Structure 1
Amino acid sequence: MSDPWQECLEHCVEVATQAGKVIREALKSDIAVMHKSSQVDLVTETDQRVERLIISSIKAKFPTHSFIGEESVAAGAPSVLTDDPTWIIDPIDGTTNFVHGFPFVCVSIGFTVKKQIEFGVVYSCIEDKMYTARKGKGAFCNGVPIKVSGQEDLSQCLVLTEVCFKKDPHRFDAMMANLRSVLTIPVHGIRSPGSAAVNMCLVASGAADAYYHAGIHCWDMAGGAAVVTEAGGVVTDVSGGPFDLMSRRLIAASSRAVAERLTRHITEFNVGRDDADGS
């Protein structure tokens, strides 16, 4: 039986490549920066331009499919995952990196059917690394198979997360407490590259062993979650329960043992859901 979604995957790689070219060209120019929810929640004209490019290209080829896009949701579109074939798009994952020219910037696209991730594409466009993963068919970087490290001892891990301003003092305190808790396990170290999808691809390729985050969105997670899973890794909720794409929380790890131990060092805090209010 033929793979019904292979054509979608191939088109996804094509449009991600086109989007990456737009992003690289934009880096040569002055970048117009706008703000969303706060002075550190940034959006650029390039974010919006790239999302329009991606969605228009996909709609022309697959007009019956649905979309959840970061900038569309910011403009008021619903963030609701249905059983329909759905493209979940982050046009620039790592906008703050993009604004500063920090080289971890990617286009991230996940594709779901019946609310399950069928494939993911993450194009780290400054590095020119194209990560792809199709359910049951493995994960690749520029066509070369990749695998997680397989590390099972959290004390031997390099851990990724993100540290940023939180308006809610409870969230800020919990974020800082989690850093202290993980560092004093101890682990080999914590790094913050600045892009959720890149973080997951680093775990998938064995360059890091675990990544945890609460407060991100489905468009940050969908593409990278496919890559980690197909690279032999584990993706869970920060509580240790099953991964929920709309929950805004995840752990991506080299092994279930690492994921389970990491959950014991993370204090949970409420971040809402993408399908509740899109915020």
Structure 2
Amino acid sequence: MAQRLSAHMTVMQNAAQRAAKRLLRDFNEVEQLQVSVKGPGDFVSQADMRAEQILRDDLTKARPGYAFLMEESGASGSENWAWRWVIDPLDGTSNFLHGIPHWAISIALERRLPDGSTEIAAAVVYAPAVDEMFWAEKGTGAYLNDRRLRVSARREMREAVFATGIPFAITSPRNRLAFARTLGTLMPHVAGIRRFGAAALDLAWTAAGRYDGYWECGIKAWDITAGLLIVREAGGYATDPGGGDPRTSGDVVAANPHLHPALRDAVIDGITAAEARSA
């Protein structure tokens, strides 16, 4: 029996699917896209901007008072927002522009609590090229299309496959050093490490048990906010290396409950070594 969607989730999935139609048309003509370069390895295309505008228009029409935090256009709306959309209209832009069908639309909905803190209330990560809709709402579980998701049950590091993001040219020296140390620590002890180039999908695939965990340092809130909730609602842990909120620190460690402590320890070791070397 299909899971009944809430009003928020219906709005989010409909907006993602409408933006996806435009992105898929552009993906099929990727050679003809006009692309400008924001920085090494960080491209923005007409497709990206068009998708962001579709999402903004649809979500504003459905929920006029909500604020936005978006990759291309930044923050907008009231600073004292009660609800806010956090959106990456095209996660995996480099994959998209090279014709690699591993990219996604990421939409999260944050809610401000009475004490002034915020929580992630709902999330969608949609991979249009394979028609996979990962989604979750706080307290109701995580799903892939109509199927309930659970993180993997593996307990041994030697059986684990982890995902990460390899630093590129504009990455800070601290994060490059931390990555190298963490990678060197993990590689002799795990079954494999993958880099597919889309953080939102790395988290969604961790929720689905395709990966046993994922880590990355120096990542933006719009890349991970939706995925954090999907992992947690699938029974996993998603924190920063110190156990705090990755939305604040930009560093994320996500895994099943059995492997999260060991992965965190490896990332902490990498960061500690990098900071000592940079001091």
TM-score normalised per structure 1 = 0.87
Task: Give the Å deviation of 1:198.
Answer: 0.5
Provide Cα deviations, 1:14-39, integer angstroms capped at 9, x if missing partner.
01011111111001222222222x22
Residues 252-271 of structure 1 aligned to structure 2 (within 5 Å) = 252-255=254-257, 257-266=258-267, 267-268=270-271
**Match of 2:63, as an amino acid?**
F
- On the 8 A contact 1:85/1:113 being kept in 2, the answer is yes
Task: Give the Å deviation of 1:153.
Answer: 2.5
Match of 1:228 in 2: 231
**Whole-angstrom CA distance in 2 between matches of 1:79 and 1:265:** 39
Note if 1:209 corresponds to 2:212.
yes
Q: Which structure: greater helix fraction?
A: 2
**Whole-angstrom CA distance in 2 between matches of 1:57 and 1:139:** 24
Match of 2:277 in 1: none
Structure 1 alignment gaps of length 5 or more: 270-279
Match of 1:44 in 2: 45
**Whole-angstrom CA distance in 2 between matches of 1:81 and 1:181:** 42
- On the 8 A contact 2:157/2:190 being kept in 1, the answer is yes
Which of 107, 110, 116 is matched with 1:112 structurally? 110
- On the 8 A contact 1:106/1:198 being kept in 2, the answer is yes
**Whole-angstrom CA distance in 2 between matches of 1:170 and 1:51:** 31
Task: Give the Å deviation of 1:6.
Answer: 2.5
Task: Give the Å deviation of 1:173.
Answer: 2.7
Residues 9-88 of structure 1 aligned to structure 2 (within 5 Å) = 9-29=9-29, 30-36=32-38, 38-73=39-74, 77=75, 84-88=82-86
Task: Give the Å deviation of 1:56.
Answer: 1.1
Match of 2:249 in 1: 247
Q: How many residues align?
A: 258
- On the 8 A contact 2:40/2:169 being kept in 1, the answer is no
Match of 2:151 in 1: 148
**Whole-angstrom CA distance in 2 between matches of 1:6 and 1:159:** 32
Specify the SS of the correspondent of 1:268. Answer: helix
**Whole-angstrom CA distance in 1 between matches of 2:162 and 2:20:** 27
Residues 115-194 of structure 1 aligned to structure 2 (within 5 Å) = 115-167=118-170, 168-184=172-188, 186-194=189-197
Report percent identity of matched pairs: 30
**Match of 1:101, as an amino acid?**
G
Match of 1:93 in 2: 91
Task: Give the Å deviation of 1:238.
Answer: 2.0
- On the 8 A contact 1:130/1:142 being kept in 2, the answer is yes
**Whole-angstrom CA distance in 2 between matches of 1:251 and 1:80:** 31
**Match of 1:145, as an amino acid?**
R
**Match of 1:159, as an amino acid?**
F
**Match of 1:138, as an amino acid?**
G
RMSD of aligned alpha carbons: 1.9
**Whole-angstrom CA distance in 2 between matches of 1:145 and 1:41:** 34
**Whole-angstrom CA distance in 1 between matches of 2:211 and 2:23:** 26
**Match of 2:36, as an amino acid?**
M
**Match of 2:47, as an amino acid?**
T
**Match of 2:98, as an amino acid?**
H
Structure 2 alignment gaps of length 5 or more: 113-117, 273-279
